[in-house]
Amino acid sequence: MAHRADSTVLEGARVVLPSGTVENGRVIVEGSRITGSAPQDARTVALPGHWVVPGFVDMHNHGGGGASFATGTAEDVLTGVRTHRAHGSTTVVASTVTGDLDFLARQAGMLSELVEQGELAGVHFEGPFISPCRKGAHSQELLRHPDPAEVRKLLDAARGTAKMVTLAAELPGGIDSVRLLVEHGVIAAVGHTDATYEQTVEAIEAGATVATHLFNAMPPLGHRAPGPIAALLEDERVTVELIDDGTHLHPAALELAYHRAGAGRVALITDAMDAAGVGDGRYVLGPLDVEVKDGVARLVDGGSIAGSTLTLDTAFHRAVTVDRIPVEDVVRSISANPARLLGLDDRVGSLEPGKDADLVVLDEDFRLKGVMRRGEWIVDPLAG
């Protein structure tokens, strides 16, 4: 059960700020916000040997805790949100999967209510406007060309809460749909695409600014046909999503993305499905059956990878300890960058006075020990 911290001073930890890591640092919380000075009656929480980092911002997440954002009820969605909060994701965008357009519109309407209530940070439509050649774990029968009128239908259903739409811009209507999204302040993301290098450049010039799970569900990098990967990595306007779970990406691919794009253009995501935080077993992703074995989700029919079972605390730990990415760069990728992309960086994404008191406490081995959201301990670092 979450409980409010009221006035709290976290001290003695390594605190990661936008300016760098502060040894023996302090974070002061007053109510739901970070503040610059501590009242006399503040509770002190000593955290020597720990790290304090901003709460994680997951901009691509389909569910968790056995619940689906794509097909579940409002209570199901809240179950998934709470599961990810307990793993450090204090800000979560709900991602859909390909489905019937009318159903997607109804689901978006329900999700928009949870955004308005402050439980979600927005809605991401992944499909149905994607390539049948690179559909991954999406139902081919329900795929559609990105007709701007149909894209607009989903935006209207989301009532201003749509944050991102993933589409294959090379399909008929794709470039016009990218322009429509930009006009409405919604991120146009290139993904599940069979585009050439030149077609991807055209999408970026039209306003696309995100690569949906770079490398996955797109043509591989070729020396004569570089495809979308080269175009997305080389353009300074594009942020690339990466799924760092040890399954979706070889470490060399992740290293390449960080080297070419730089930490300021990487967003670590989960692309999680229902099994995140639960375990192996049989699940569904949209209308498709999924089997999770040894933590890897695959379609029962065909064996395609079907999202992940990742949580962002695991992604953080892996990025630092396995991939050897500097802690400050991981913090940018898992908090600051997605917050900026979503237009939420005035409230979340860094530990600065005036922002929401969203933070994660990690031990010296980068294992999660505490989670605070808006001044409430979701996971108390001193409990147990």
- Pick out the residues of the known binding site for Zn(2+): 126, 192, 213
Q: Quick one: which of 70, 24, 9 has its CA closest to 284? A: 70
The DSSP code sequence of 51-64 is EEEEPEEEEEE-EE
Q: How far apart are CA 247 and CA 226, in angstroms?
A: 23
Q: How far apart are CA 383 and CA 123, in angstroms?
A: 34
Name the helix (H) or strand (E) containing 204. helix 197-206
Name the helix (H) or strand (E) containing 156. helix 148-157
**Which among 194, 235, 245, 271 is annotated as catalytic?**
271
Angle at 54 between CA 49 and CA 57, to 5 degrees: 135
Cβ atoms of 233 and 261 closer than 8 Å? yes
Sign of CA dihedral 167, 170, 176, 182: positive
Residue reference for tokens 């409405």: 184
Cβ atoms of 69 and 89 closer than 8 Å? no
Cβ atoms of 377 and 2 closer than 8 Å? yes
Annotated binding site: 126, 137, 192, 213, 216-217, 224, 248, 305-307
Describe the crossing of helices 227-234 and 197-206 by its angle, rounded to 10 degrees: 40
Cβ atoms of 173 and 199 closer than 8 Å? no
Cβ atoms of 30 and 374 closer than 8 Å? no
Q: State both tokens at 126.
A: 């992944």
Q: Quick one: which of 267, 290, 269, 293 has its CA closest to 279? A: 293
Sign of CA dihedral 350, 353, 354, 356: positive
Residue 38: strand, helix, or coil: coil
Name the helix (H) or strand (E) containing 278. none
Name the helix (H) or strand (E) containing 9. strand 7-17
- Known catalytic residue: 271? yes
Annotated binding site for substrate: 137, 216-217, 224, 248, 305-307
DSSP label at residue 316: H
Q: How far apart are CA 254 and CA 247, in angstroms?
A: 11
Active site members: 271
